[in-house]
Each structure stands twice: as C-alpha cells, then as structure tokens.
A = this chain, B = another copy of it.
C-alpha cells in the first residue's frame, strides 16, 4: 500500500504532522507537493480533489491522504486512521481515544499559534493585521502558551510508564506532533519559548527523543523536510516575541 499525501508545496504546515508519522514508521508514500506539476503533482493535483464535482466525499482543505480510492481529510483524522496501521497508537480502544484526544488538543494549540500572526483573517496579509497580531501574541504568550505547555508537561508526568512518551511505553503520532510543535515554537518565538520551556523538562526531553530517532534524523537531513519559513504556521516576527 502506497499512501499519497496532498498538501501545499513549500511549507511544512499541517501536512508535516502526517509526514512525521509516515516517516517515523518507514511507510511508503508519495508527497504530491514534492512532485513537479509537469509530472502530475503540485497544486493542480491537489486542487482537483478540492474543486472537482465528481468527488463524493470532498475534503474541506488540505492535507488529505489518498489510500486506494478512499480520501481522508482533517489532520487528526488522518493520524487516527494511520495510527493503528503504522503502529503509532495503542492497541486498546481507551488508549486510542486518549491518543486522539491529545492530538485534538495539539490541533487546538496549533490554531492558537497560527492566529498570533493572523488574528483577523487567514486570507489577509500579516501586514494588514500587525497591530492586532501584537495584541493577540501578547495574550497568547502570557496566558495560552503556559496553559498548553503546562498541560502537556502534566500528561507526560502522569504517564505511569515514566517517559519519554505521552501514552504508555511506545511512540505515538501525538508524540511526533508535539515534538514538531516544540520545534515550531522555538523557531517562531525564540525568546519566549526558551524561557517558557525552561520549566518543562519533560517536553524538552520528548522533543529530543523524537528528533533522535534514526528514521526521523534521516528525514530531517533529507530534502523531503522543508525548513521553517514565514509563509507557514510557525512564523518568526521579532515584534511578536516578547
């Protein structure tokens, strides 16, 4: 089975949470964003599924995954599907729901991180909402960032397996996603995240454990991993980092 991932070219974005799961499991997949348009990849290949009238169950937005003839959208839903198949989720139902619950909380966190630079409209430029972004980022760093980081640190602390993972003794897709968020926060808010993460040793250890895995290291060193950049979810604007 070859998975086919559709996402915007040029950014990590929400596609990255799916890529990390596929890479960590050594799954065979095609990343359509990396396939040139002349070879049937890129935006046109993706747009077809979003816009064509003959898609019976259309996704609202990328990323989406094609598995045979099935299209699966919504990042957390894709990971729910892949989790069991790739060995990145517990086998028992309660463990799977708990992992998914954590993933949905990570998804909420990501929306709030994104909205620090786009508090008014995702279709507007940052320059059109700079003033509002400054207020939103200030509130985010003061109130929301500590709340989310504190929560995940607590979850790590209460895992009876004793670390480094969120759920039990095995890596799950939620660990991969959370490590990516820590990396993204360090890119976007180098000053604020350093001080915020100081009090969260388990989150730092989770990040390090994920990025030390051989397959993830190979992925990070490959051309498949795009660098963080300011067209993406995580953006570094010095005026928002304080």
Contacts and interface: CB of A to CB of B under 8 A. Distances in A.
Contact of A56 (B55, B76, B148, B158): B158
Given A119-B120, A135-B120, A136-B121, A77 B97 contact: yes
- Copies assembled: 2
A59 interface: yes
A140 to B, nearest CB: 8
A81 B97 contact: yes
Interface in A87-124: 94, 97-98, 100-101, 104-105, 108, 111, 115, 119-121, 123-124
Given A98-B57, A104-B76, A105-B60, A143 B121 contact: yes
Interface in A3-42: none
B132 A135 contact: yes
B56 A154 contact: no
A197 to B, nearest CB: 19
A111 B114 CA distance: 13
B57 A158 contact: yes
A208 interface: no
A58 interface: yes
A136 B119 contact: yes
A80 interface: yes
A77 B58 contact: no
Contact of A59 (B57, B101, B115, B160): B101
Contact of A115 (B57, B94, B115): B115
Contacts of A160: 56
Given A57-B155, A111-B111, A119-B120, 14 more contacts: A56-B158, A57-B158, A58-B158, A60-B105, A60-B148, A70-B94, A73-B101, A74-B104, A74-B105, A80-B97, A120-B136, A121-B139, A121-B140, A124-B139
28 contacts: A55-B158, A56-B160, A57-B155, A58-B158, A59-B101, A60-B105, A70-B94, A72-B101, A74-B104, A74-B105, A77-B97, A77-B100, A77-B101, A80-B97, A81-B97, A119-B119, A119-B132, A119-B136, A120-B135, A120-B136, A121-B135, A121-B136, A121-B139, A121-B140, A121-B144, A129-B135, A132-B132, A132-B135
